[in-house]
A and B are shown apart, each in its own frame.
Chain A
Amino acid sequence: MRYMTAQSAKAAAMALAEEPGKSRVLAGGTDLLVQMKAGNLAVDLVIDIKQIPGIRDITAEAGGFRIGAAVANSELREHAGVCKMWPGVVEAAGLIGSTQVQGRCTMAGNLCNGSPAGDAVPALVAADAQVRIEGPDGVRNVAVLDIPAGPGKTTLTKAEIVTSILLPARPARSGDAYLRFIPRTEMDIAVASAAVSLTLDAAGAVTAARVSLGAVAPKVLLVDAAAKAIIGTKLDDAALAALAMACEAACNPIDDKRGTIAFRTSTAGVLARRAAKIAYDRAQSAANDKGAK
């Protein structure tokens, strides 16, 4: 195996393009090193992207935040601005692994690892985050939703790297939340998860919403029908029931030792309800903080 440190995204892309064997990008390494150790991944070239200028930075952009692909989740959680604007994204990213894993792991890595249960992904989808990708031919920006291609797979080409994730600006009275079910108390893989991001009007009715489910399909889901079920409502019981039903209908999970199809499906609906309520409360608090009327 060879190890190189890329000094620019372009250099990383070129190295990936030119490598005839198996190459992997290294940021946090908390998935990569485990896979290498397990022996089912004979990597020929590891490209460490942590030295690329800006790739470890969080910068305010267009009213939101651009988060470099190599920002460790422990660092993300210490950023007051991101925590305030996107608490659901931060709590999702913050659930990955342990304190030690948090010292290294990244949202971009969680996304690119392609696990259907990756915790950061549903929250990023609900946030409508955009991924900046750099390849030998230049830069493109893609919705997070368009990155997963199936278990362990992404739509990135061999020579592309993610350089940053953009969390967009928030209208006033907005909130997001992420919840997952795991059998243990911590340090486990999501059996089902739900992320909700929503915006309210002055009267407290939902004007916009995105509902995303994880670990219940080969890829993360964006459930339009669930969002539609709560738009125009104040999350009354009927709206929440419709939200849960729409979520259940969208699920396409597997049966395995972590959970049955039936359990994952019903849990996804329950988590979506709870996440919607938390996001709603956060949206109202955000309005109160800003003194909005």
Chain B
Amino acid sequence: MKSLHVSTTINGDPVEFICDPDEPLLDVLRNRLHLTGAKEGCGTGDCGACSITLNGRLVCSCLVLGAEAQGAEISTIEGMADGEQLHPLQRAFIDGAAFQCGVCTPGILVAAKALLEKNASPSDEEVRYWLAGNLCRCTGYDKIIAAVQVAAAEMRGA
């Protein structure tokens, strides 16, 4: 099939790539752009390990075609830290031991960041429901929720 040429913006940088018409954005990010932070946990939009934001919206990159990135603004986990400075969520996850194997973690961080940008003071229940599309097999979620709340408090206070 004929390849497509796509121009987009990723983490603030202009990016161009070639992809197949049926290639998911997740595969483009990982295999062509070597942005391997987003993970393929399921490939069907159920686990959230591939989470990114597209034009400010939290989405599964496995449910977006690379072609659909044309002209869009994409944010991935790779753009979360500010150079060497970790985002409060990243620090809270490290300090709070909110990950074990780490496969779900990029997706959860991207999703949690999107939540706190929309709602700076979520209840635990709101955090859980927002993160319902991010599955974790290791932690049992409790430390994840706690870390999100620690980061949220810091971001409100800062």
Contacts and interface: CB of A to CB of B under 8 A. Distances in A.
A and B bound? yes
A113 B20 CA distance: 24
28 contacts: A1-B21, A1-B22, A2-B1, A3-B22, A29-B63, A29-B64, A29-B65, A33-B24, A34-B63, A36-B22, A37-B43, A37-B44, A46-B22, A46-B65, A72-B57, A97-B133, A98-B48, A98-B60, A99-B58, A99-B115, A99-B132, A100-B63, A100-B133, A103-B59, A104-B63, A186-B129, A186-B132, A187-B132
Contacts of B59: 100, 103-104
Interface residues of B, number: 34
B89 to A, nearest CB: 16
A99 B2 CA distance: 33
Nearest to A46: B21
A1 B48 contact: no
A173 B115 CA distance: 34
Leading 6 A-B pairs by shortest Cβ distance? A98-B133, A3-B21, A103-B57, A103-B59, A186-B132, A100-B60
B73 to A, nearest CB: 13
Interface in B11-40: 20-22, 24
Interface string A19-53: 00000001011100110111000010010101000
Interface in A97-154: 97-101, 103-104
Contacts of A98: 45-46, 48, 60, 132-134
A195 to B, nearest CB: 21
Nearest to A44: B1
B94 interface: no
A185 interface: yes
Interface of B: 1-2, 4, 20-22, 24, 43-46, 48, 51, 54, 57-60, 62-65, 67-68, 70, 111, 114-115, 129-134
B133 A74 contact: no
B130 A187 contact: no
Nearest to A105: B63
A100 B48 contact: yes
Contacts of B64: 29, 33, 104
Contacts of A50: 68
A89 B111 CA distance: 25
Contacts of A100: 45, 48, 51, 58-60, 63, 111, 133
Contacts of B24: 33, 37
A187 B46 CA distance: 8
A187 B133 contact: yes
B54 A103 contact: yes
Nearest to B2: A2
A72 B63 CA distance: 14
A5 B64 CA distance: 14
A28 B59 CA distance: 10
A52 to B, nearest CB: 14
Contact of B63 (A1, A101, A186, A187): A101
A22 to B, nearest CB: 13
A99 B130 contact: yes
A51 to B, nearest CB: 10
Given A34-B44, A186-B129, A1 B58 contact: no
Nearest to B50: A100
